[in-house]
Amino acid sequence: MTRTTTRSKGRLHGAQAPAELVPAVLLWHTVKARSRRVRSAARRREAGAISTELALVVIALVALAGIVLAAITALGKRTAAKVTGL
């Protein structure tokens, strides 16, 4: 069996890992890589959801501003009509 040495944090040097650990090490790296991809995808989805919510809020504010502007315009026209006697 090959002698193993450890580095900081107790990691095995790749070339010196015993043969019976190789499948476990490969599986570990595969699982870590998958969880990293899953977290990354979740982060992207969350960022997309936030930008979608922000877009909806902006659309609602623009619509509200349009309604307020239309109401002010209509009120102004009515007032102008009263003043001019039409």
Residue 65's pLDDT is 96
Higher pLDDT, 74 or 4: 74
User: Taking 70 as the threshold, does the pLDDT of residue 86 lie above it?
Assistant: no
At residue 12, what are phi and psi to the nearest 5 degrees?
Answer: -85, 145
If you count DSSP H runs as helices and E runs as strands, how many of each does the chain have, helices first?
1, 0
Strand runs labelled E in the chain = none
Q: Domain count for the chain, please give it.
A: 1
Q: Is 11 within a domain?
A: no
DSSP, res 13 = P
Range of the domain at 54: 19-84
Higher pLDDT, 7 or 47: 47
pTM > 0.85: yes or no = no
Among 5-19, 29-43, 57-71, the minimum mean pLDDT is found in 5-19
Reading the block at residue 42, the tokens are: 């979740």
Q: Which of 10-19, 22-31, 61-70 has the highest mean pLDDT?
A: 61-70
Residue type, 2: T
Does 3 fall in a domain?
Answer: no
